[in-house]
Copies of this chain bind each other. A is one copy, B any other.
Amino acid sequence: MEKKILLTDCPDCKGLIAQITNICQNQHLNIIKNNEFVDKHYGRFFMRTVIEGEFDDEKLLADLDLHLPEGSDRRLISSRNKRVVVLVTKEAHCIGDILMKSLYGGMDVEVCAVVSNYNSLEELVSKFDVPFHAIVQADLSREEHEDKILEVIAEYKPDYVILAKYMRILTPNFVAKYKNKLINIHHSFLPAFIGAKAYEQAFDRGVKMIGATAHFVNEHLDDGAIISQDIAHIDHAYNAEELAKAGRDVERSVLSRALQQVLGDKVFVYKNRTVVFK
């Protein structure tokens, strides 16, 4: 008996749950978990179905295509660890957490490689026997630099590319190549404090909490579909540096949670927003 996940994303109409569950039932597949959501604002239906049984993938998908309305998207996903390439700059806390959890439990993922615009983190990454590629910016145009990075990433054919405190803004060209597959951790509760120096901005504003936001990257700065957010309460005694230090714990945990959701095929992206099932 295999276990697969069916993701259905289609225009809302009557009877969708009955139809989809019937199709599974008719093929002697057992539904062991089901989540669905109707976005009434946009008239769209989302369903995540965990199915057990002996699969005839083609038949199942053909049956679905026959019954689902036009404009539907359905994917049948085998349970396996996703492959990711992680981009970093100099900070260790997010990549360290990902490597630790990928190897010792807590995140079902295969980290294929780490790519950086600096070589500061080579020692850390190599401890975990993961290839590290330092692609420094020196003497390269933004486009040349990105092309080299894209080349390295492409070799690994990753399911997702993670920006784990990669501190350079990517061009729309780069972003377009990994639409809905490029995940960033931003060091503020978006949409507040967009761009660099979020903690300096937070200090200047005198806020009483700091936050982090994991989101898909689109062509606008810090504007993509949000996956997960959280905050930590702080007080007047924190200067910008201490805010950044406290923030690292939030960044790490928010990125970790977002990745577990994405890697577990629990996230739909549409209209620059996400549906995240439990």
A274 at the interface (CB under 8 A from B): yes
How far, in whole Å, are A231 and B232 apart by their CA atoms in the complex?
Answer: 10
B-contact bits for A218-237, CB 8 A (1 contact / 0 none): 00000001111111010111
B206:A226 contact, CB within 8 angstroms:
yes
- The 8 Å CB contact of A225, one of B31, B192, B206, B233, is B206
B253:A249 contact, CB within 8 angstroms:
yes
- The 8 Å CB contact of A21, one of B18, B32, B272, is B18
Chain B residues within 8 Å of A231, by CB: 189, 209, 211, 231
How far is the CB of A121 from the nearest CB of chain B, in Å? 9
Q: Which segment of A3-11, A63-71, A98-106, A164-172 sits at the interface?
A: A98-106
Chain B residues within 8 Å of A38, by CB: 32-33
Chain B residues within 8 Å of A229, by CB: 207-209, 233
How far, in whole Å, are A97 and B211 apart by their CA atoms in the complex?
Answer: 21
- The 8 Å CB contact of A236, one of B25, B39, B237, is B39
Chain B residues within 8 Å of A249, by CB: 106, 253, 256
A96 closest partner in B (C-beta): B100
A225 closest partner in B (C-beta): B206
How far is the CB of A145 from the nearest CB of chain B, in Å? 25
Chain B residues within 8 Å of A93, by CB: 100, 104-106
Number of copies: 4
How far, in whole Å, are A191 and B193 apart by their CA atoms in the complex?
Answer: 8
A262 at the interface (CB under 8 A from B): no
Give chain A's interface secondary structure class: mixed
- The 8 Å CB contact of A190, one of B33, B96, B207, B248, is B207
- The 8 Å CB contact of A104, one of B15, B124, B209, B275, is B124
How far is the CB of A273 from the nearest CB of chain B, in Å? 3
Chain B residues within 8 Å of A24, by CB: 18
A96:B104 contact, CB within 8 angstroms:
yes
A191:B205 contact, CB within 8 angstroms:
yes
Question: What are 28 of the A-B contact pairs (CB < 8 Å)?
Answer: A14-B25, A17-B17, A18-B22, A18-B31, A33-B38, A34-B34, A40-B239, A92-B104, A93-B100, A93-B104, A93-B105, A93-B106, A105-B248, A106-B245, A106-B249, A189-B189, A189-B211, A189-B231, A205-B226, A207-B229, A208-B226, A208-B276, A209-B231, A231-B231, A235-B276, A236-B275, A236-B276, A249-B253
In addition to A191-B207, A229-B233, 15 A-B residue pairs with Cβ atoms within 8 Å of each other are: A32-B38, A33-B38, A37-B236, A39-B236, A92-B104, A92-B105, A93-B100, A96-B104, A106-B245, A189-B192, A189-B209, A191-B193, A191-B205, A192-B192, A235-B278
